[in-house]
Amino acid sequence: MRACAGWAVRGAAAALTAAGLGHTLWTGVTEPATALAFAALVTVGELARRDRRDDPAADRRPAPLGSAGALAYALLGQDAGQPTHHGVLQTVAVVVAAALAGTVPHIARGHGPALDHLARRVLTVAFAAACFQPLHASGRLTRWTGQGPRLVLFLLLLLGLTALCDAVLAAALAGARTGWPYGPLLRDELRAQLGIGSAICATGVVMALGVAVAGLWALPVFSVPLLLTQLSFHRIDAVRTTYRQTITSLARATEIAGCTAPGHARRVAALSCAVGRELGLSQRELTVLEYAALMHDIGQLSLVDPVPGGATAELPPDEARRIAGLGGEVARRTGVPAEVAVIVERQADPYREQPVAARIVRAVNAYDDLAGAGRHPGGPLAALERLRLGTGHDYQPEVVESLARVLARGGRGRVVPVPPG
């Protein structure tokens, strides 16, 4: 069902693209100078993208400048006081051509075109243009709103609906691509719209109104603030990437010291995040969960006598809690957020006393300890059954069943834990 939704979105975008390009090639470009100016703006916005292959959230990041330029062209009714007549299909054609031109350097670097991103762009721009251009061309919009505050309110309302449309499409595409639950994906997309999405919508409205009054010279003026915002976003993202790499390096210290099996921390982190998505955690909660899962065994560095094989799941409860407490202290000294240290510290408590993230880390860590390296004679299925038997005190039943569903999907290639090494 999710795969069908993804193909439906891509198919609709492809059909609109074919219709827009065919219509524009057949009838010619209306007001070519205006079309060229907005196409250049969208292309520059796409060139400014810095997506990475190893970034699972890359498809959620829009190109802010390109998105704002595309929305402004969809909502453009006048150019320096003169009515425009480009319509819906030419809007789609110009945006698609400009976006494709902007992906050429990315292809040259080996990143390839972001097809889902382009499909979202086509459908959201087509939605905004279809809501605005017919009303503008017929003159009904001018009769209803005039050129004053009511027009601005109408545009803001339309952009709000467009942002909602974009979030629904993005969640559908992400669900089809990953198999994760649709509800949490939609919630994360809506939260993302409140951030950079608000800036994109506001800039799109300002660009459209500015060009209506001052002409195309308004485009570079109103583009500068959003471009600077985008550059700042890239810098913040680089800091976050470095921070995550630092935590990953700290997590590997237990493997280098021989305290845990190779790849254990990364497997627990990958599987914990998959379980967290299944349970509906937000993107921020998933980030905290990932950091805590990576560092969950760091307390073993303080032990004089290492735990055999690093498997803490079969230790006595008091010893497991002592090691978890040591891990919380080490985590606090590394400067990670306090909530990460709390999760590490409380991972060995009875699940009814734990935060949700600690329940996930405890169950996933126990599964990897029991199923890995042949420690459990029955293999992964027996290890999972062992967790089910412990749901009365040690493991939350909902977490264990979510883990079972994630593992079942992994068997079909959807979610695969990180292998050792």
342-357 pLDDT tens trace: 998 888 888 888 899 9
Write the DSSP symbol of residue 179.
-
Helix, strand, or coil here: 101? helix
Q: How far apart are CA 189 and CA 191, in angstroms?
A: 5
Using the predicted structure, report yes or no on whether residue 112 has a pLDDT greater than 60: no
4-22 pLDDT tens trace: 877 888 899 999 999 999 9
- For the whole model, what pTM was predicted? 0.74
State how far the alpha carbon of 396 is from the alpha carbons of 281, 353, 380, in Å. Answer: 16, 11, 18
Q: Are 59 and 121 in contact (CB under 8 A)?
A: no
* Helix locations, 295-396, DSSP H: 317-334, 338-345, 356-371, 379-389
* Among 312, 304, 386, residue whose Cα is nearest residue 344: 312
Q: What is the mean pLDDT of the chain?
A: 82
Using the predicted structure, report yes or no on whether residue 51 has a pLDDT greater than 60: no
Using the predicted structure, report yes or no on whether residue 237 has a pLDDT greater than 90: no
177-211 pLDDT tens trace: 777 777 778 888 888 787 777 878 888 888 988 99
Confidence of residue 117 (pLDDT cuts 50, 70, 90): confident
Helix, strand, or coil here: 24? helix
Q: Is the dihedral of CA 410, 4, 93, 84 positive or negative?
A: negative
Across 117-126, 214-223, 298-307, 312-321, least confident range: 298-307
Question: Considering all CA atoms of the chain, what is the largest pairwise distance in Å, rounded to the nearest integer?
Answer: 82
356-396 pLDDT tens trace: 999 999 999 889 888 865 455 566 788 888 888 888 888 89
Which pLDDT does position 310 carry in this prediction?
A: 62
Using the predicted structure, report yes or no on whether residue 52 has a pLDDT greater than 70: no
Using the predicted structure, report yes or no on whether residue 250 has a pLDDT greater than 90: no
Confidence of residue 240 (pLDDT cuts 50, 70, 90): confident
